[in-house]
Structure 1
């Protein structure tokens, strides 16, 4: 299958420097860099975010939960987790009415045992149009399958997963609804149907629309999502938040309008979340990029948190870009301190 790229982002597909260097840096952009020993479980990413009434989370791969370095970082640094691909439709319901919750359940159960919140990603992801058994269904049967899938998954995790990306990546770069089995059979109305079904299945859950390439409101795709949210809000369709995936191939890919885009979505009366953040690069440039992204979120009161898409660089879906906050050994990178300093500084200035 051919998949269009956005800043190194390939559809929905995520399958799968040292302390001396940090201490030697005087500044990260406008933010001072603490030495490597400054962060602790009490002052790390999740704890600092929580002190601001927000979360700082990570995407978690169930298969990594036996790695003590990986789980140590999870416990120390993050107060929210997202099961990385374990809640995608094909993973959870590979055959009709046959559900497989074990992998996702490992992440959810561990998070709850450690007091972390859980985001559910990939409930309906039309950009990954590969749920083979759906392809054989009629329009009416597709609608029934959509509702049944949402109801079963949210009912299973009711009270355990507080936020759901109900639909992810439903729009093309042109701003039109992405062709998919769902769109082709049900038309764009499937988006509304999905959100209404999710609210009925778990009235307490926060319901988000999530996408990549919507970080600049001047682009057609971002404007289409903005119009969708505005329409849903005006008609009482249940939507509580918008997720900006924010996969950036480099620091230079972060649009200058990023903060204004967050504020514009928030002005519609929904929360905004940075849901799948990673930034390719290293050193000072990468650190400043993380500082800018986190600062843009913290500066908007309705931007409730940030999730990085993985823990260490080796866990990333694009590990060749070294896009995360910890290196292969689990050592904090300058990027870590860029993110941490942004939350601390914004407590005073933002």
Structure 2
């Protein structure tokens, strides 16, 4: 996702005008700074073999000691914000700048984190020299040089790549967006892009990354038709990334499961790549946000998604199209919000259900111990989690996500 694009602002204003908030709100005692230091998303993810990541990591954020502390404490994967995009890496033809990317990779290696390569090509961030190329063969040569130089440098260090991002129109239904690569190479340009990327690093997993498919059925079908065609022709693609930038409400229950199953049938993985939740800043903001994080992460894990990344983790470094929204799991002062504890609970419950140890009661107890939930609400939370675990155990994720209602739990 490229920040500050007027297209996205218009897109989500339009969506905001039509979306309906389906979650029921109730009175909430404002959350205090509950202690997240003893709860780690990373630890729970590791127990279940899950990649849990923070995207949108600008290397400059590492100068912030608190950011640099929490990032590896809570996540086992990271990905850059814009630093891998063409105009940042090769601003002039033949002149590559890896300074910022190297800093991210070195940080990840020091903290035993995976790194995802985000943004080999996209509709934005192309340098002027590149877009002056109008001959298809010259563009293929430029892509080959760029991909080979970048991917070979990070081979074995960046294990998966968002090769192409946001290739369709905003709401779908109009086919591939006529971006620069489309205009020069034609409507089958993605097949060429993936083949060049595969040749540059045959061991890397290659993903196509798209927005809003969890909301819009027409766009969802367009993406599936494109990917299934690539697979049928033997184009080296390994997975689909769902950006999952959510506004006001979650996707309909069951949609993520349907998406995952459709791509599993093609032999592909599905990842959540840029999740955040943008809500109007009313009194119920934090509780509603926690519910959405719970719903999406719980269903994603139950559906078999093993790679979940958020578009950052602290509101200190966030961008939103809704004035006053606070889309991430930690506030601007690095205090964990209810969304953090809901996400941790989803991971913890998943480890219980997958027989890796623990119980729903243990999950509830941990949340009470850390001060995330009041002691008096422990039995209610335990019962909710137990019911959700039973549903998950029988494969009924659609029911499970409704079992836990964060607006019925009095949070500190």
TM-score (norm 2): 0.74
**Which residue pairs with 1:17 in the alignment?**
none
Match of 1:50 among 46, 50, 75: 46
The equivalences for 1:121-200 within 5 A come to: 121-125=118-122, 127-128=123-124, 130-137=126-133, 138-172=135-169, 173-200=172-199
TM superposition shift of 1:129: 6.0
Aligned counterparts of 2:350 and 2:103: Cα–Cα separation in 1:
34
Aligned counterparts of 2:90 and 2:277: Cα–Cα separation in 1:
32
**Which residue pairs with 1:80 in the alignment?**
77
Does the 8 Å CA contact 2:275/2:310 hold for their aligned counterparts? yes
Deviations 1:320-348 (CA, angstroms, capped at 9, x unpaired): 42000000110100000111111122231
Does the 8 Å CA contact 1:175/1:222 hold for their aligned counterparts? no
**Which residue pairs with 1:206 in the alignment?**
205
| Range that drifts further, 171-180 or 200-209 | 171-180
Aligned counterparts of 2:65 and 2:137: Cα–Cα separation in 1:
48
TM superposition shift of 1:82: 0.5
Secondary structure of 1:145 counterpart: helix
**Which residue pairs with 1:314 in the alignment?**
316
**Which residue pairs with 1:334 in the alignment?**
338
Secondary structure of 2:63 counterpart: coil
Verify: 1:325 aligned to 2:316, yes or no: no
Match of 2:247 among 235, 246, 249: 249
Aligned counterparts of 1:112 and 1:52: Cα–Cα separation in 2:
21
TM superposition shift of 1:263: 2.8
CA RMSD of aligned residues (A): 2.2
**Which residue pairs with 2:111 in the alignment?**
114
TM superposition shift of 1:132: 1.4
Verify: 1:343 aligned to 2:386, yes or no: no
Gaps of 5+ in 1: 11-19, 24-34
Verify: 1:290 aligned to 2:293, yes or no: yes
TM superposition shift of 1:22: 4.4
Number of corresponding residues: 324
TM superposition shift of 1:8: 6.0
Does the 8 Å CA contact 2:298/2:346 hold for their aligned counterparts? yes
**Which residue pairs with 1:300 in the alignment?**
303
Aligned counterparts of 1:175 and 1:106: Cα–Cα separation in 2:
40
Aligned counterparts of 2:47 and 2:104: Cα–Cα separation in 1:
24
Deviations 1:72-119 (CA, angstroms, capped at 9, x unpaired): 111210100001111011111111121111111111110111000001
**Which residue pairs with 1:28 in the alignment?**
none
Gaps of 5+ in 2: 16-28, 280-284, 354-388, 393-412
Does the 8 Å CA contact 2:72/2:111 hold for their aligned counterparts? yes
TM superposition shift of 1:313: 0.5
Aligned counterparts of 2:326 and 2:14: Cα–Cα separation in 1:
14
Deviations 1:146-190 (CA, angstroms, capped at 9, x unpaired): 222111110111111001001111111224111111101101222
TM superposition shift of 1:316: 0.9
Does the 8 Å CA contact 1:249/1:321 hold for their aligned counterparts? no
Secondary structure of 2:121 counterpart: coil
